[in-house]
Amino acid sequence: MSFTEPTEASRVVQYRAPDADPQTWLALAAGIDIEVVQYFLVSARCGCFMQAARSLNVRPTILRKHLAQLEEQLQRTLFMFKDSSLTLSRDGHQLHAQLLALAHERTLPVIEQPLIRLAVAQTLLHDILGRDLVSLLRRNASVRLEIISLDSDLSLQAVSADVVLWLAGTESPIPGPSFSTTEPQPLARLDFQPHIAKRYSRVTARPEHLDDLADFLLVQWQHERQVDSFRPWNALVEQRLAGVVQLHSYELMLEMIRCSACIGLLPGYMSRFDRGLIGLPGLFNQPMQRQVWLAVNEQSQDQAQVQMLVELILTTFEERRDWFQD
């Protein structure tokens, strides 16, 4: 059979093998390579070659190649497509039952995946890294990954992780993780400025001076109240007697800027992440900047899964290099 997954039902051409006692060819089940047994059982369970490959952490072409060789070895068609769905053929069901019976006699190996812990600043997880992490999980359904969102310097210093991605000063990664790491690596310098939704601000009426903000509602993410480089913005918010919202959710702050005519402090790349938002440069004389830092736990830095995660992060930031350049 063809090991592809069509969008329409296709006619299945069965092998023209001579009729024989089912026990004759089923007796070969005990000699099937244990890895191929896993390929067959997982594909049968998932009903989808792509999902089976993700679960087994192998390329779909490798899985299909082994299953095609199995069909050739047994001279039986094991899978077929019915109404665009992958199902077992009659012979496939017989082999499936035989392999399950054998499974009670021999233990199929379960390859344990190491638990990889990624601690990442909430803004970076939401704006930059989230989409590529989703893509990673689509390709590898067997990964064991714990994602820890960092929303404060306290959480950063208390966390235990294999890979840490955080925001700190432009000259120093301190405060940083409290455990032993590799030398922190700077990935990008972020410039922060007030932002507003385009639909709530006509070009001719956009604020150009601090006094122009008097008629706008300001929104502040509480985590940033303690950021030293944000003192100009924080001082403006603190002196407000009205027209200010303070909250603990980064996502909610973004939503309020998008939908409530609020002005809030966001990274300069935000207009690339969300084209409905626009920065308001020139309101403050003092730049408000932070640096993205990356470090790896010294004890787990050589693990393949950790290196894969680090490579994903480096690639993500390299692909978005124009986001961080003036």
Of the pLDDT bands very low, low, confident and very high (cuts 50, 70, 90), residue 268 is very high
- Give, for 297, the enclosing helix (H) or strand (E): none
| pLDDT per residue as tens digits for the range 169-181 | 999 999 899 999 9
CB-based contact 250:149 (threshold 8 Å): no
Which residue segments constitute the domains of the chain, with CATH numbers given?
A: 22-103 (1.10.10.10), 115-188+290-324 (3.40.190.10), 190-289 (3.40.190.290)
Find where tokens 């950790």 sit. Answer: 306
The strand pairing partners of 189, in sequence order, are 291
3-state DSSP assignment of residue 162: coil
Mean pLDDT within 265-285: 93
| Contacts (Cβ under 8 Å, ≥6 apart) of 3 | 49, 64, 65, 67, 68, 79
Mean pLDDT within 65-74: 90
| pLDDT per residue as tens digits for the range 20-37 | 555 677 778 778 888 888
| Dist. CA 164–CA 120, nearest whole Å | 6
Mean pLDDT within 156-166: 95
| DSSP class of 285 | S
pTM: 0.70
| pLDDT per residue as tens digits for the range 48-63 | 888 888 888 788 899 9
Of the pLDDT bands very low, low, confident and very high (cuts 50, 70, 90), residue 107 is low
- Asked if pLDDT for residue 225 goes beyond 60, the answer is yes
Of the pLDDT bands very low, low, confident and very high (cuts 50, 70, 90), residue 15 is very low
Q: How far is CA 240 from CA 11, 25, 237, 283, 311, in A?
A: 72, 82, 5, 16, 44
CB-based contact 60:86 (threshold 8 Å): no
Which of 197-206, 215-224, 232-241 is least confident? 197-206
| DSSP class of 6 | -
pLDDT greater at residue 300 or residue 101: 300
Which pLDDT belongs to residue 12?
43
